[in-house]
A and B are shown apart, each in its own frame.
Chain A
Amino acid sequence: MEALEQIKSRVEAAVSGAKLEIIRNDSPSGQHSLLLDNAHALAVAKFLRDDAELRLDYCANATGVDWPEAELTEKIRVKKIVDGVEKEVEEVKKTLRPGYLEAVYHLYSMEKKHGPVILRFRTENRTDKNHLPSLTPAWRSAEFQEREIFDLYGIVFDGHPDLRRILMWDEFKDFPMRKDYVEPDDYEYEPTPHDEVLEKVKQHQAEEVKA
């Protein structure tokens, strides 16, 4: 299979206006991924599917990731004047990264027997601007998986033929896989609580005592 850089440049040449970014994965697996821009995601997907070299005809997996707002810290060296002498001082720079939701797709080619190519795209935030284009028009196998992402993470896929909850019931309001999801408090009886459950049981019992 072609290198990701090559795929990126070919996609950008073929789909006018598309802007891709390579997200590096420095773990031993080295599975780098392509970050798509939402406006051209479907066009890029169709190109990857139909391109004679790639023929990524099989979307094996689609899932979501929740990235809550986080404070990133990085150490930078700054030149500062200390006691009249210029010195290089290490400073901790803090930046606030806004939260977003991400959809990840793993693509393989049945015809060419290669893969995976990993696609990602991101919503603007986690509350109101949580829309992404659906890739179901490109791969039918994404239909149920996008419904699952919608159900568990709350990403709304525009252009999906049948976007309903799939695992939880329709009346359910929460998104269980989000990191700020609060589980229902049903820890009234735990014979051998430990670790996280012990904490939850303690919380439950504290409320009991208050009431």
Chain B
Amino acid sequence: MDEGLKSELQKQGIFTTTLEDLYNWGRKNSVWPLSFGLACCAIEMISASMARYDLARFGAEVFRPSPRQADLMIVAGTVTKKMAPQVVRLYNQMPEPKYVIAMGACAISGGPFKQGYNVLKGIDRYIPVDVHIPGCPPRPEALLHAFMTLQKMIDKQKLTGKDRARHFDPEAPSEFPVPKFGAHDLEPTNNPGVWQPPVLARGV
């Protein structure tokens, strides 16, 4: 609908909207995160949900103890290789539409433990991440900012058409392969459907 006409009508006391707007507005203001934390970032996440930073203002105060009731996964902290399959399994158990925020340097890249043998070099190797938050650990404000970024993203999602949201695309997977514990490393070491190493231009 034409934005100009919409505002003209609003001045006359007639409010118009689209189903898409209504649907997205409802979803973006009631994002329920899954309550789990892996390391120091989780403390910041808890802090963000408490009175001082008050995540409840965004309709996200109900941290759900069950993945069935959550639509946002905040991967807060270091994902070790031993923990990675469980994180992917939890993601698989969440119903669509679902979103992922990777919180902190460890969750997005392995952080200071990147060169270690036991830490996953970023959870985006196995599940699709919507918002990455850098920082070690990021402050609660950074999480709030990520939240607002996610809300803007949800608001822009289309219900139909070629660029429709992932959960309306029957081709797009909603479950991702859970890596197995191998003899030397996780198998596979990443999900090529989700993450592929960036091609580096190598010097001559």
Contacts and interface: CB of A to CB of B under 8 A. Distances in A.
A184 B197 contact: no
Contacts, number: 36
Given A184-B184, A186-B121, A168 B82 contact: yes
A171 B115 contact: no
Contact of A173 (B81, B115, B183, B198): B183
B198 A172 contact: no
B181 to A, nearest CB: 4
Contacts of A197: 115
Interface string B97-123: 000000000000000000101100100
Interface centre among B81, B82, B117, B198 (most CB of A within 10 A): B117
A188 B199 CA distance: 9
Interface string A138-167: 000000000000000000000000000001
A183 B198 CA distance: 22
Contacts of A176: 117-118
A174 B117 CA distance: 11
A71 interface: no
Contacts of B184: 172-174, 184
B197 A188 contact: yes
Given A172-B183, A173-B184, A189 B200 contact: yes
B198 A189 contact: yes
CB-based closest 9 A-B pairs: A184-B185, A189-B197, A188-B197, A169-B181, A173-B183, A171-B181, A183-B117, A176-B117, A169-B82
Interface of A: 167-174, 176, 181, 183-184, 186, 188-189, 196-197, 205
23 contacts: A167-B82, A167-B118, A168-B82, A169-B81, A171-B181, A171-B182, A172-B181, A172-B183, A172-B184, A173-B183, A174-B183, A174-B184, A176-B118, A181-B117, A183-B117, A184-B189, A186-B121, A186-B185, A186-B189, A188-B197, A189-B197, A189-B198, A189-B200
